[in-house]
Amino acid sequence: MSALPRIVAAGAGRMGQGIAQVFAYAGYEVSLVDLKTRPDAQTAPFAKTALAQIEKNLRFLASLDVLPDDKIPPIMARIHFQAEPEADQALSQADFIFEGVPEVLEIKEPALERISQANEQAVIASTTSTMVVTQLADFVDNPARFLNAHWLNPAYLIPLVEVSPGPATARESTASLMTLLKHVGKRPVRCAARPGYIVPRLQAAAMNEAVRMVEEGVASPAEIDEAVRVGFGVRYATMGLIEFIDWGGVDILYYASNYLKDALPDRRFEPPPVIAEMMEDGRRGMREGQGFYDYREMDVAVYQHDMLARFVRLLSHMELLAAPAD
């Protein structure tokens, strides 16, 4: 990129602050725009608090040697706080606008209408975690430039951004946003306009199951959390869920799910129909050469070595790898 795009984080709460920090950290000039009307006496203190939180985040990273202390002032200088009366001017000059106002439809609607009326060209991305793009697109003039971009908190740390275009979203809008996010070090993943995106849906299923186990007396909260930290979580930090199904075999998921469905009993453990179909078709994962992924042209031995090496390095970093006996 020659001239960096102009960025606006519209909504100056935690999400807006995190997004502003990400772009300023990557060298972009970014406007952190407060869309809430405040009494004059509250404007300056709010701005000071918002910017102080960003600086606090940066100093935390510096304390861990992620960046030198002398990088903090220039990063902060690239963040321009704009109070509500100045919002339209800042919005009008942006190439990309990230809407991050509270998760209330009655607040989202006027915010998106104002943003799209102030700027007729910019790509507009809502950071909502609870509303699909099709619920919000009608509030934007020219919805071809509108889509959802769900950042996970803390936005300045989590690499993932779930990008969810709608039926009216232009391919160019999606592509340009994905490119922008990659340029600032994020790992965007595209998903359909369905409730829950990817991570919130997986997270809700796992969290609810953990609480059910506490409720049923299976284990204490502390024991469940330890099991997640040193087992479930560390495993999926190196390998995706679908990838792991192929690694172990679709048949293992099929039989384990049906056992749990009958033993507990609860239909929530019943495997989806596609698992039975894959069993019948012989697409049982890496051993068979095909599962959710195709391994027929892959050097499976190299893939397995690289995956296990990554896992060992993570265990070593987390001090979970036992030393051998003398």
CATH numbers and ranges of domains, the chain: 7-190 (3.40.50.720), 199-317 (1.10.1040.10)
- Picking from 29, 32, 84, the residue whose alpha carbon sits closest to that of residue 53 is 32
- Picking from 84, 163, 157, the residue whose alpha carbon sits closest to that of residue 128 is 163
**Which pLDDT band, with edges at 50, 70 and 90, does 265 fall under?**
confident
Residue-wise pLDDT for 119-166, tens only, equals 999 999 999 999 999 999 999 999 999 999 999 999 999 999 999 999
| 82 bridge partner residues | 33
Q: What is the pLDDT of residue 129?
A: 93
Is residue 102's pLDDT more than 60?
A: yes
Q: What is the pLDDT of residue 263?
A: 94
Is residue 211's pLDDT more than 50?
A: yes
Q: Helix crossing, 14-25 with 40-63: angle to 10°?
A: 50
Is residue 2's pLDDT more than 80?
A: no
Tokens in use for 19? 């997004």
- In one-letter notation, the amino acid at residue 8 is V
Q: What is the pLDDT of residue 266?
A: 85
- On whether the CB atoms of residues 218 and 263 are closer than 8 A, the answer is no
Mean pLDDT of 272-291: 96
Edge-to-edge strand list for the sheet holding 96-99: 79-82, 30-33, 7-10, 96-99, 123-126, 146-151, 160-165, 187-190
Q: What is the pLDDT of residue 1?
A: 45
Measured CA to CA, the distance from residue 202 to residue 244 in angstroms comes to 15
Is residue 293's pLDDT more than 80?
A: yes
* Average pLDDT over all residues of the chain: 96
**124 CB-near residues (< 8 Å, 6+ apart):** 97, 99, 112, 115, 116, 140, 145, 146, 147
Element (H, E) at 150: strand 146-151
Higher per-residue pLDDT: 126 or 3: 126
Higher per-residue pLDDT: 241 or 2: 241
